[in-house]
Amino acid sequence: MKEVLMENLRSIAVVGHGQTGKTSLVSAILFNTGMVSRLGRVEQGNTVTDYDEAEIEKKISIQASLAYAVKDNYKINIVDTPGYANFVWEARLGLRAVETGVMLVSAYEGVEVQSEKIFDSMVELKKPLVFVVNKMGKDLSDFNIAYDSIIESFGKNSIAVQYPIGKGINFSGIVDLIEMKAYEYEKDEKGGYKEIEIPSDIKEEVQAKREELIEKIAENDEKLMEIYFEKGDLSSEEITSGLKSGILKRDIFPVLVTDAYSNVGVNHLIDFILKYTPSILDVGEIETLEGKVFTDKSASFSGLVFKTISDPFTGKISIIKIFSGILKPDSTYFNENKLKEERIGGLFYLQGKNQEPCGEVKPGEIVAVAKLKETQTGDTLCVKGEKIQFPEFKFPVPSISFAIEPKSRADENKISTSLYKIMEEDPTVKSERDVQTKELIVSGNGQLHVELVLNRLKRKYGVEVTMKPPKIPYLETITGKADVEKKYKKQSGGRGQYGHVLLKMESLARGKGFIFENTIFGGSIPRNYIPAVEKGIKEAKQKGILAGYPVVDFKVNLYDGSFHEVDSSDMAFKIAASMAFKMGMKQAKSTILEPIMKVEVIAPGEFMGDLNGNLSGRRGRIQGMETKGKNHVITALVPMSEMLDFNPNLTSITGGRGTYFMELSHYEQVPHQLQKKIIDDAIRDGRVRKEEEE
């Protein structure tokens, strides 16, 4: 591939709610620019950017993937992103690596919830945005309804630059509102078109939309506003400059029209991206933690690793967005996050899963490099000594956990290494060994997310596991006070063991953790044994007496005790403190705490009554309701244990039109009548012994 000038380089992230046709659009762009020889179809499993086996099987995008298209002297770097709630965080990663977001909106569904979430990210990241009303060829499609939903959801900066000719099976082309020209597309899936007269039945609407566009362009530029007032119109050159400026400054979100599946409107979208969206030179500067870097190839190199993938042949692959300077192969750079040097080997572009070697790369490019030892997603690479660091990613906290068991001893030996590689690719996956149950716990953003992680374990790494219901991370605490004394004395020939402590225990407010206080005066316990007392309590609090869960939010005051000049030891005081702690837990009225989740449910208004009832039946407390676009949003506080089967219930109630998010809010005491089951389960699982519970 011949070199592309920086001013002719575009980088876009194709984003939007699931099933809006993002991957189909990318496939059409690649086909129309000659990058592939056939138009890929999601249902046929032959698209460039949905290449993972799980994506092909489920016919959805699960991870952000890379592609590029070349037309004339221009190049478009493309990040194809998922739109489903479990994986939508990948869209945010993709947006960090591009200059423009291209958001697809279904012509028959209008704006949906994930698009609203992604839009919020784009506002935060200050990214220019192009809307595409897609799926115009579907039954029940209606550009005007979809367009109104865009304005209602995202404001009046959204303005049409194209208008459709027909809809549904009669969708045949577009009207370019900038040039006031109409184009009819061929029906042969090749993206060809011819210019025609603007159909008379839409002429009036087209004229009105063009006037809205010209007014929007003029109102963002005083000079253009004067010209518009004087002449009542703007020239093509004035429209072009005003539109480019408005897009870059986020004063204008242009709205285009396509049906990617039938390849209608895609060529005009490509031309629009090349002509009107910004290059990295137009952006000019990128914010860092301590200032800015200028997007100049003569500057010192800096780049952000925005994604990591694991290739079965190449190994770990880090994908880098170049913001300044030149990245050269076979060179050494500095990881500013890890404070380590990294040796960069060969560089290559990604076209889906295919790797295409390249030489040095300049700002605006997206490039991959294999086998970096220290570097992870979110890290900054730069020249040593420059101290450039881009803001780190904020990954979502996992919302659900499952216990997994390897099916064989061979799998057990491989599982830790395999999970580590998956967590490198997907930082929202967490894995840890439960200290009480000794179970291996895998956490993710939803049940589907965790299931796909386990599928990847089997498919990529040959590790088969069974998945158990998720464990609820209960905690224990005390609700009262205790004053206990424990003397640990053991004599078995030779030196004995002696430790004697008097402790006061009291509860603390939620979230205060553990406080240890030493108020001994007069040396009843030598100072060198005090840390052993604290250590004994810290170790003992990892396993409460009711159900074996960690104990939190309490204070211990060591106020007296005694020692033996010969028999006392750190171990003796540690054991005495541990035993005293357990006595105090019984005396101070132990109780169990459960995680309470902040739940946000988004669905059309007609389902609100059923959803309110469903959440209330889960011991949920409704916190509020609001209207957001055409959807309604319920905010509630619900125990995590009650949310485990919510997803299929939500799908059933809303016919798949609802979605939800949840994150940990706080811990609360489990109602007394429900604690017995938790305790019985703990006894059955061996977390505590019967006598401990009693």
Last residue of a domain, one of 350, 382, 414: 382
Beta pairing partners, 184:
173, 194
Contact between 69 and 75 under an 8 Å Cβ cutoff? The reply is yes
pLDDT at 648 over 50: yes
Q: Please report whether residue 428 resides in a domain.
A: yes
Q: Please report whether residue 82 resides in a domain.
A: yes
Phi-psi region of 462 (alpha: psi -120 to 50; beta: other; left: phi over 0): left
Q: Are residues 463 and 484 in the same domain?
A: no
Q: How many CB atoms lie within 10 A of CB 325?
A: 24
Query: Which pLDDT value is given to residue 693?
Result: 45
Q: Are residues 10 and 142 in the same domain?
A: yes
Domain that holds residue 644: 592-674
Three-class secondary structure assignment of 75-90: EEEEEECCCCHHHCHH
pLDDT at 672 over 50: yes
Quick one: what percent of the chain has pLDDT higher than 70? 98
Alpha-carbon span 207 to 225, nearest angstrom: 19
Contact between 633 and 626 under an 8 Å Cβ cutoff? The reply is yes
Query: Which pLDDT value is given to residue 39?
Result: 95
pLDDT at 474 over 50: yes
Confidence at 664, pLDDT banded by 50, 70, 90: confident
* Mode of pairing for the β-strands spanning 158-160 and 253-257: parallel
Number of domains in the chain: 5
Alpha-carbon span 331 to 301, nearest angstrom: 12
Which two tokens mark 447? 């049940």
Which two tokens mark 529? 């044994």
Query: Which pLDDT value is given to residue 628?
Result: 74
* Helices within 509-556 (DSSP H only): 530-540
Query: Which pLDDT value is given to residue 30?
Result: 98
Q: What is the DSSP string of 365-420?
A: -EEEEE--SS--TT-EEE-TTS---PPPP-PPPP-EEEEEEESSHHHHHHHHHHHH
Last residue of a domain, one of 524, 554, 588: 588
Q: Are residues 45 and 165 in the same domain?
A: yes
Q: Are residues 352 and 491 in the same domain?
A: no
Q: Please report whether residue 683 resides in a domain.
A: no
Query: Which pLDDT value is given to residue 263?
Result: 96
Alpha-carbon span 40 to 42, nearest angstrom: 7
- Residue 119's Cβ-side half-sphere holds a number of Cα atoms within 13 Å equal to 23
Q: Please report whether residue 229 resides in a domain.
A: no
Q: Are residues 464 and 350 in the same domain?
A: no
Alpha-carbon span 165 to 169, nearest angstrom: 11
Q: Are residues 491 and 437 in the same domain?
A: no
Confidence at 509, pLDDT banded by 50, 70, 90: very high
Query: Which pLDDT value is given to residue 236?
Result: 87
Task: Kindly tell me the burial class for residue 555, based on how many C-beta atoms sit within 10 Å of its own C-beta (0-12, 13-18, 19 or more).
Answer: middle
| Average pLDDT for 481-486 | 97
* Helices within 447-499 (DSSP H only): 447-461
Which two tokens mark 184? 């009819």
> For residue 569, how far is the Cα from the chain centroid?
51
Query: Which pLDDT value is given to residue 144?
Result: 96
- φ and ψ at 99, to 5 degrees? -95, -20
Listed in sequence order, the residues at least 6 apart from 378 whose beta carbon sits closer than 8 Å to its beta carbon are 304, 305, 306, 337, 392, 393, 427
Q: Are residues 126 and 150 in the same domain?
A: yes
Query: Which pLDDT value is given to residue 41?
Result: 96
- Helix 89-96 vs helix 113-125: angle between axes, to the nearest 10 degrees? 30
Q: How many CB atoms lie within 10 A of CB 660?
A: 22
pLDDT at 133 over 90: yes
Which two tokens mark 7? 């001013």
Contacts 24+ apart (CB under 8 A), 174-180: 174/256, 174/257, 174/264, 174/265, 174/268, 175/202, 175/206, 176/268, 177/206, 177/209, 177/210, 177/213, 178/213, 178/236, 178/239, 178/240, 178/243, 179/236, 180/206, 180/210
Q: Are residues 441 and 486 in the same domain?
A: no
pLDDT at 151 over 90: yes
Q: Are residues 157 and 274 in the same domain?
A: yes
Give the global pTM: 0.79
Amino acid at 309: I
Quick one: what percent of the chain has pLDDT higher than 90? 78
Q: Please report whether residue 365 resides in a domain.
A: yes
Confidence at 435, pLDDT banded by 50, 70, 90: low
Q: Are residues 507 and 610 in the same domain?
A: no
How distant, in Å, are the alpha carbons of 244, 602, 655 from that of 162? 16, 30, 33
Q: Please report whether residue 212 resides in a domain.
A: no
Alpha-carbon span 551 to 534, nearest angstrom: 14
Alpha-carbon span 373 to 348, nearest angstrom: 18
Listed in sequence order, the residues at least 6 apart from 124 whose beta carbon sits closer than 8 Å to its beta carbon are none
Range with lowest mean pLDDT among 62-66, 330-334, 512-516, 686-690:
686-690
Residue 331 belongs to domain with CATH number:
2.40.30.10
User: Which range scores top for mean pLDDT: 32-46, 429-443, 658-672?
Assistant: 32-46
pLDDT digits (tens, 9 = 90+) for 265-300: 999 999 999 999 999 999 999 999 989 999 999 999
Report which secondary-structure segment, H or E, holds 214: helix 203-219
pLDDT digits (tens, 9 = 90+) for 87-126: 888 999 999 999 999 999 999 999 987 898 899 999 999 9
Q: Which residue has the tokens 């211990």?
A: 556
Residue 172 belongs to domain with CATH number:
3.40.50.300
Confidence at 32, pLDDT banded by 50, 70, 90: very high
Q: Which residue has the tokens 């979110």?
A: 378
Alpha-carbon span 369 to 367, nearest angstrom: 7
Query: Which pLDDT value is given to residue 473?
Result: 84
> For residue 333, how far is the Cα from the chain centroid?
28
Q: Are residues 531 and 419 in the same domain?
A: no
Residue 612 belongs to domain with CATH number:
3.30.70.240
Confidence at 77, pLDDT banded by 50, 70, 90: very high
Alpha-carbon span 93 to 14, nearest angstrom: 12
Alpha-carbon span 487 to 147, nearest angstrom: 76
pLDDT digits (tens, 9 = 90+) for 378-430: 999 999 999 999 998 988 877 778 889 998 888 887 898 899 999 999 999 99
Contact between 504 and 527 under an 8 Å Cβ cutoff? The reply is no
Last residue of a domain, one of 435, 456, 471: 471
| Average pLDDT for 230-243 | 92
Q: Are residues 268 and 290 in the same domain?
A: no
Q: Please report whether residue 218 resides in a domain.
A: no
Residue 413 belongs to domain with CATH number:
3.30.70.870
Average pLDDT, the chain: 93
Q: Please report whether residue 97 resides in a domain.
A: yes
> For residue 479, how far is the Cα from the chain centroid?
38
Alpha-carbon span 677 to 200, nearest angstrom: 72
Query: Which pLDDT value is given to residue 573?
Result: 97
Query: Which pLDDT value is given to residue 410?
Result: 82
pLDDT at 694 over 60: no
pLDDT digits (tens, 9 = 90+) for 52-75: 999 999 999 999 999 999 999 999
Q: Shortest CA distance to 590 belongs to which of 684, 691, 674, 507?
A: 507
pLDDT digits (tens, 9 = 90+) for 675-693: 999 999 888 877 787 654 4
